[in-house]
Amino acid sequence: MARPKIPLISRRKALETALQIVDTEGLDALSIRRLGQALNVNGASLYHHFKNKDDILVGVTQLALSDVSAPRDEHQSWRTWLPLNAFRTRQALVAHPELIPIMLRRAHLGIGLDEVEASVKRLRDEGLPIAMISPLMEALELLAITSALQEVGVASSAVPENADSAQELRAALDARALSTGELFEIMASTAISVIETAVQLRETRRAVNTARG
């Protein structure tokens, strides 16, 4: 079918509707045809804005992660904005758990590439060793994804109601002192510290070996 010459709906409206479909009906329910039905337009109209379903998924995920961005305040330290971005990533995935599989393909799909590039540049401008940047960003993103999984129950250790033999575990879960969100903040802080120390130690060893050689 020929593509209409004038877009019948905006890209933003299409992405908002697509995100609603993903949230309420699941990731597999999203298609050009289903989105067209929800917008009350022919699916061909959507090709003004999207090449294919993957293009829609990229846009939907970037919409959900719109609060995750490189810092605009030049005075804000990476120790503040980097873990904050990880927290915002986690919150977005808790709110839209169907997007977690898409986040696992983020790099392949190019999701958020401009913001990642800007973040790397900002980290370098702040004096962070380049060897530390990738491990740090990858670790925080992985923590955000796994913590979101825990929060929404996909990886939950909750006990089934009929599990009479797990009384001690149920008691421990009921008495937990830290929420999954608080646990994430601790783990993120710990990850930053551990990676920073590990990279510094590695660079020191490399310098010593170079001097000896």
What does the pLDDT average to over 130-143?
Answer: 95
CA dist., res. 9 & res. 49, Å (int): 9
User: What CATH number was assigned to the domain covering residues 11-63?
Assistant: 1.10.10.60
Confidence of residue 1 (pLDDT cuts 50, 70, 90): very low
pTM for this predicted structure? 0.85
CA dist., res. 109 & res. 56, Å (int): 11
Alpha carbon of residue 163 to chain centroid: 34
| Three-state SS at 201 | helix
* Burial of 186 from C-beta contacts in 10 A (0-12 / 13-18 / 19+): exposed
Strands, DSSP E only, in the chain?
A: none
Q: What would the pLDDT profile of 27-72 be if each residue is shown by its tens digit?
A: 999 999 999 999 999 888 898 889 999 999 999 999 999 999 988 8
Q: Where are the domains of the chain?
A: 11-63, 80-212
Answer CATH for 80-212 from 1.10.10, 3.30.160, 1.10.357, 1.10.3470:
1.10.357
Contact 25, 11 (CB under 8 A): no
DSSP code of residue 28: G
Write out the two tokens for 22: 């993903």
